[in-house]
Amino acid sequence: HRVKKFIYASSMAVYADSPRPDPLPESYLTAPISPYGVAKLACERYALLVASQSGFDAVALRYFNTYGPRQTYTPYVGVVTIFVQRLLRGEPPVIFGDGEQCRDFVYVGDIVEATWRAMACDVRNEVLNVGSGRGVTVNQIAALLCARLCPEISPQRAPEHPGELRNSVADITRARQTLGYEPQARLEDKIDEVVAWNRGIV
């Protein structure tokens, strides 16, 4: 089909857990702790291998915790969307474990920009992190959303989920150098977009 370049949407779930919320470079240990992460890592390797053997280019982009309007609601992904929808229904957000899990929340517009740059520029056979480069805890997300939407509601606590990374923050140095990628959005500034979209569907 004359494919010249294949962009694979990978995930931060390919990494081993980190004991500290330090930014993880692409060279960090890939030892997934969930079936999802195992599948993503396997597909990365298939894509890069097949591309090298078949004469086209491949790039694997490891997306971190993406958020934004139009995100599909499921019980398993998109903690920002899950919390927003619960609060709009007058229900408390549920925090699993102590809430100090640290994540890199990256706006969908920045994901699109990085993906377009990977497609358009002369990068090949690379694996790149795509995130904001900034860590935010689940407790901080819950506090921000409760304050914006329902200050009278406090989060509920539940036992931690097995197979959940404790710390996952992107080192985006390579994406900056290779793609000229620079995230533009800040979570605090984009939450209102997420809220506005979800008000129309809750």
Instruction: For residue 47, give both structure tokens.
Output: 């894509």
Please confirm, yes or no, whether 67 is among the known catalytic residues.
no
Beta-ladder partners of 10: 62
DSSP 26: T
Q: Which of 129, 105, 109 is nearest to 9 (CA)?
A: 129
> Which string of DSSP letters, residue by residue, matches 123-176?
--SEEEEES-S--EEHHHHHHHHHHHH-TT---EEEPPPTT--SEEEE--HHHH
5 sits in which H/E element: strand 5-11
Q: Of the listed 8, 15, 28, 36, which one is catalytic? A: 36
The backbone region for 55, taken as left when phi is positive above 0, alpha when psi lies in -120 to 50, beta otherwise, is left
- Give catalytic residue positions: 36
